[in-house]
Amino acid sequence: MFKTFSPKLEEIDKDRKWYLVDAENKTVGRLATKIADILRGKNKPTFSPHIDCGDYIVIINADKIKLSGNKWAQKEYIRHSGYPGGIKRETAEKVLQKKPEKILTEAIKGMIPRNRLRTHILSKLKVYAGPNHRQEAQNPEKIEL
């Protein structure tokens, strides 16, 4: 008889890696799906949906991403203040000018399940607009997605 393997949190914490991803000229959706899988740990044989077993991801050049079609003008990011008439809409073009990291962060956030692990999983994501980042001490391994 085989026993079902269940990873323990202590084993997973020792096994976490840091990855560096360059988002220059990458399509948002295709990049976000691969990053979401690595953040959750679905690329590992020890994946378990009830434990956060993913790795850390550092994304650079988030201001040089691509959107296909006419999405720069048509895609809208919507937020609401909670008050009547408090809805705010911004196109992807305006969001790129103000906060270029937000486009990738929101795309990845939408691909993570909405449960108690979501905030913990997203805390391992670091997104930077330019080529510089603050995680040099962790020696992130550069991967091509």
Looking at domain 9-142, does it have CATH number 3.40.50.720?
A: no
pLDDT tens string, the chain, 145 residues long: the values are 788 888 888 888 888 999 999 999 999 999 999 999 999 999 998 899 999 999 999 999 999 999 999 999 999 999 999 999 999 999 999 999 999 999 999 999 999 999 999 999 999 999 999 999 999 999 999 999 9
125: Cβ contacts below 8 Å, ≥ 6 apart? 35, 39, 56, 57, 59, 105, 108
123: Cβ contacts below 8 Å, ≥ 6 apart? none
Residue extents of the structural domains in the chain: 9-142
Q: What is the pTM of this model?
A: 0.92
